[in-house]
């Protein structure tokens, strides 16, 4: 609660700004669909990580591929202008921003907790993400699976939440209030885990993702509450050691969760690019 009240104000505004993106993309009016680009650009102007939500603009659900191409060109131009305007500010703020670490934080760059030197964290994170993405791309995990027409909204909301969390995870350290974007993951995962028509590999990945999400959301809070309840039994130094040990142990679990998200995002991106590059411009998907 304190994290949400004291530090999450901008992120909650970003959440509100990005909430209408999927409804806009599924609207029957072209102007409303194009408004999704503006929402992403405005959110990116508040903090840089919402630019990752631009991935969801790749969807071609219900529109001609020509419109998707126009939407992407507009998004690249808008985000480019925002990035140019913010480049100087980000360079200065980056040196002053607090480096979150420990319980109630998450980041790929928490690798020093498991022995990776901080100077190598960025390269190691990108290499691991690339290996995971290529692995899912080459696998047959999603073979024969397609999202049902009635689940398009839930699927796009899932992609929006997944890419935002993944962007936060790879970009730097984050306090746990950014898990608010996980709200957009839940409806799709709930349906997928019970979808008998989906391939067993996809349902299994959905169940792993859902289970790991529960751990990611609640583990730090439970441990923090437990240590607070034991304050009369253990001294502060012991509590810090226990918290540090748990933080180290949970890093592989956090990476497993984000690896699962990356699997779905790889599938969405590959399918979107394949559809974008292969379909005639006048084709319309109903």
Per-residue pLDDT tens digits of the chain, which is 286 residues long: 666 566 656 788 899 999 999 999 998 899 999 999 999 999 998 888 899 999 999 988 778 888 899 999 999 999 999 888 877 766 666 666 666 778 888 888 887 767 777 777 778 888 999 999 999 999 989 988 988 878 999 999 999 999 999 999 988 788 888 899 999 999 999 999 999 889 999 999 999 999 999 999 999 989 989 988 888 888 888 888 998 889 888 889 999 999 999 999 999 999 889 888 876 555 444 3
The single-letter DSSP state of residue 104 is T
Please name the residue that has the structure tokens 């839930």: 154
SS3 state at 122 = helix
Contact assessment for residue 64 and residue 283, using Cβ atoms and an 8 Å cutoff? yes
SS3 state at 196 = coil
SS3 state at 102 = coil
Please name the residue that has the structure tokens 């907790």: 113
Question: Taking the C-alpha atoms of 7, 10, 11 and 13 in order, what is their torsion angle to the nearest 10 degrees?
Answer: 140
Q: If DSSP states are collapsed to H, E and C, what string results for 10-33?
A: HHHHHHHHHCCHHHHHCCCCHHHH
**Spatial CA neighbour of 163 closest among 145, 135, 185, 188:** 185
Q: What is the CA radius of gyration of the chain?
A: 20
Contact assessment for residue 250 and residue 223, using Cβ atoms and an 8 Å cutoff? no
- Around Cβ 142, how many Cβ atoms within 10 Å? 21
- Model pLDDT, residue 283: 46
Instruction: List the end-to-end C-alpha distance of the chain, in Å, as a whole number.
Output: 44
Burial class of residue 215, CB neighbours in 10 A (0-12, 13-18, 19+) = middle
- Model pLDDT, residue 257: 96
- Model pLDDT, residue 286: 39
Rounded CA separation 186/153 (Å):
12
Alpha-carbon distances, residue 72 vs 12, 40, 59, 76 (angstroms): 26, 12, 10, 6
- Model pLDDT, residue 280: 59
Phi/psi of residue 279, nearest 5 degrees: -85, 140
Contact assessment for residue 188 and residue 154, using Cβ atoms and an 8 Å cutoff? yes
pTM, whole model, 2 decimals? 0.88
């Amino acid at each position: 609660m304190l994290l949400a009240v004291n530090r999450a104000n901008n992120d909650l505004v970003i959440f509100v700004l990005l909430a209408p993106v999927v409804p806009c993309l599924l609207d029957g009016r072209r102007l409303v669909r194009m408004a999704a680009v503006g929402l992403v650009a405005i959110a990116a102007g508040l903090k840089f990580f919402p630019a990752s939500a631009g991935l969801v603009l790749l969807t071609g659900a219900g529109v001609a591929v020509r419109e998707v191409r126009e939407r992407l060109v507009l998004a690249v131009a808008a985000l480019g202008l925002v990035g140019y305007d913010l480049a100087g500010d980000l360079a200065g703020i980056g040196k002053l921003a607090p480096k979150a670490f420990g319980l109630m934080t998450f980041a790929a760059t928490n690798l020093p907790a498991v022995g990776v030197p901080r100077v190598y964290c960025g390269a190691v994170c990108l290499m691991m993400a690339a290996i995971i993405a290529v692995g899912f791309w080459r696998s047959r995990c999603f073979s024969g699976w397609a999202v049902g027409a009635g689940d398009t909204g839930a699927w796009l909301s899932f992609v929006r939440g997944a890419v935002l969390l993944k962007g936060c995870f790879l970009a730097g350290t984050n306090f746990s209030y950014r898990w608010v974007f996980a709200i957009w993951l839940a409806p799709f995962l709930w349906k997928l885990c019970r979808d008998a028509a989906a391939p067993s590999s996809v349902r299994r990945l959905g169940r792993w993702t859902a289970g790991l999400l529960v751990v990611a959301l609640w583990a730090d809070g439970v441990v923090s509450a437990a240590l607070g309840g034991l304050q009369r039994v253990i001294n502060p130094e012991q509590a810090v050691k226990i918290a540090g040990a748990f933080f180290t142990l949970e890093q592989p679990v956090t990476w497993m969760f984000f690896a699962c998200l990356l699997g779905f995002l790889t599938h969405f991106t590959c399918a979107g690019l394949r559809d974008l590059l292969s379909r005639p411009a006048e084709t319309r998907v109903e």
